[in-house]
Chains A and B, each alone.
Chain A
Amino acid sequence: MERREQYDPEDIESLLYERSFDELLEEERAYVLRHLSGRAEYEAMRTLLLELRTNDAQAPPLEPLPSVRANVMEAFRAQRQPQWRIWLNSIGGVLVPRELPSLWRPALAFASLALLIVVAVWFIQGDGASTGSALAELKEQEAPAVRSTEPEATLDTAQEAGASTDAEANTQVMLAEVRNEDNAPSEAESMVEMISLEPVDNADIVAEPAEEPKKEKVAIVTSDNSKQEADAVPSYTNAPATGRVIQFEELSRNQTVANTEVKAITTKTRGKVAVPPSAGRNLAQDRELTSLLAAGW
């Protein structure tokens, strides 16, 4: 009985096609009788279905008229899009296929296109780079006119750097000497001697700023020659010396007041050789310094 419940009218249709009422199994017959009145109705329906099948098989097939096809195709052509749009649509169909396995074609096409674009851009940039290098060469030709001031600026900067380095080194040396020796007058003599340092060539200052302290140590001479050395100082530059010579008495007096004065004197003295503005030189009165600063600007 449970199997009968699984039947539906479509199953009756299959039974009608396959078996007559007498050929039905008991359970099938019971199921058929639940939906049909009896054998007569079942056989009538079966005859109808079989006759339909036979009739369709024997009926001459209907053929559409050729004119119908011609008219339909003409209607399609009349509504057809322009040729170039069809071409574009065909391209779109190729580029964006529905089937995933066919995606390698557009992928390959896009990759090739990207490669072409990269190559084209590379070539274009290559031409641009050659043009840019030409411009750079032109700039290099203009450079010497600008460089006419650069060496001075470099020299000035180097002089300043070397001078500051020089002054610091000397100061350190002198401080060390002052602290280590108890004899103040001898230190004062040394400081005076520092004033009479031989002028250091500008080229040496620029080239070897770190070696300057050594040279200065070697350049220290006795106090007897201080005047001569002081006279030699102007040979450092053609500008007249604007600094003043510290006398031994003055130095002794100052050092008596405070040992730290030695440092200030040393710095002040070294300002003649290499000129740190903070060393006490008057910028307005120092033509050399002014000219150097102007060149630097």
Chain B
Amino acid sequence: MALFSKEYGNLGDERLMELVVRGDERAFGALYDRYSRRLLSYFHRMLWNDREKAQDYLQDLFAKLAQRPASYDPSRPFQTWLFSVANNMCKNAYRHEEVVRAAARELRHGVDREEARDGIDVDHERFRGRLDQELARLDPDHKATFVMRYHEDMAIKEIAAVFGCSEGTVKSRLFYTLKKLAERMKEFDPNALHHGKA
């Protein structure tokens, strides 16, 4: 197997997952290295910018993958399948942790304030905090669609595959989410924001 070690980086996700199902540890490691950052960022966005929680969910996701690799549906692209699993985990998080949501949000604000003091542009931090607030108010599917599209740069088709809906639904969902967020964030007037940056 050492002869083929260099090929892992060039193998497709589905091929790597096939090897994972057969028990190939290196393939599993390659998949982790390929998607861990993106998934961590996704969890971070979806789970109230809670880094610790994002790390935990990332570990849980790959632990599930390690325990039940056969649960992967080979007929679907691995990325789509992986993000759908991650999205379901986020939905469960919303469903079961509504009680602690407010507390986590308060904690996140505290962390954001601490990060803002580290010299990062205050306007960007304000915008990010406000955006996170508004995202948290959105419907989970709309929020996930928004995060996948504008933070993870996923294609409309991939997002549609994650949610199992049509591309038109995703487009419509994105449009109205963007419209709603823009309306709620009127305080960030374009001229005022750019003046602030300048």
Contact = CB atoms under 8 A, between A and B. Distances in A.
Interface string A45-76: 11111011111101101111100110111011
B23 A81 contact: yes
A9 B156 CA distance: 12
A73 B63 CA distance: 8
Contact of A59 (B62, B128, B181): B128
A64 B22 contact: no
A286 interface: no
Interface stretch (B25-33, B77-85, B92-100, B136-144): B25-33
A79 to B, nearest CB: 5
Contact of B36 (A41, A64, A98): A64
Contacts of B182: 41, 44-45, 47-48
A77 interface: yes
B46 interface: no
A68 to B, nearest CB: 5
**DSSP class of B's interface residues: helix, strand, loop or mixed?**
helix
Contacts of A9: 171-172, 174-175
A30 interface: no
A89 B1 CA distance: 12
Interface in A1-45: 8-10, 12-13, 35-36, 41, 43-45
Contacts of B72: none
B193 interface: yes
B129 to A, nearest CB: 11
Interface in B22-78: 22-25, 28-29, 32, 36-37, 40-41, 44, 51, 54-55, 58-59, 62-63, 66-67
Given A41-B182, A62-B51, A72 B59 contact: yes
Contacts of B28: 73, 76
Interface in A228-283: none
Interface centre among A36, A58, A75, A81 (most CB of B within 10 A): A75
Contacts of B67: 75, 79
B145 to A, nearest CB: 12
Nearest to B150: A52
B80 to A, nearest CB: 19
A222 interface: no
B183 interface: yes
B22 A93 contact: yes
B122 interface: no
Contacts of B168: 8
A114 B63 CA distance: 44
Interface residues of A, number: 47
B150 A71 contact: no
Contacts of A41: 179, 182-183
Contacts of B165: none
A35 B124 CA distance: 28
A53 B151 CA distance: 8
Given A45-B182, A48-B185, A8 B127 contact: no
Given A62-B51, A64-B55, A90 B22 contact: yes
Given A45-B178, A62-B51, A69 B188 contact: no
Contacts of B120: 58
A99 B124 CA distance: 49
B23 A89 contact: yes
B195 interface: no
A86 B193 contact: no
B157 to A, nearest CB: 11
Given A10-B171, A47-B188, A86 B178 contact: no
A77 B32 contact: no
A73 B29 contact: yes
Contacts of A73: 25, 28-29, 32, 66
Contacts of B54: 62
A72 B62 contact: yes
A75 B150 contact: no
Interface string B151-178: 1000010000000000010011011001
12 contacts: A9-B171, A12-B175, A44-B185, A48-B178, A48-B181, A52-B131, A62-B40, A68-B58, A68-B62, A75-B66, A81-B22, A93-B19
Interface of A: 8-10, 12-13, 35-36, 41, 43-49, 51-56, 58-59, 61-65, 68-69, 71-73, 75-81, 85-86, 89-90, 92-93, 98
Closest 5 CB pairs of A and B: A9-B175, A76-B66, A89-B22, A44-B182, A47-B190
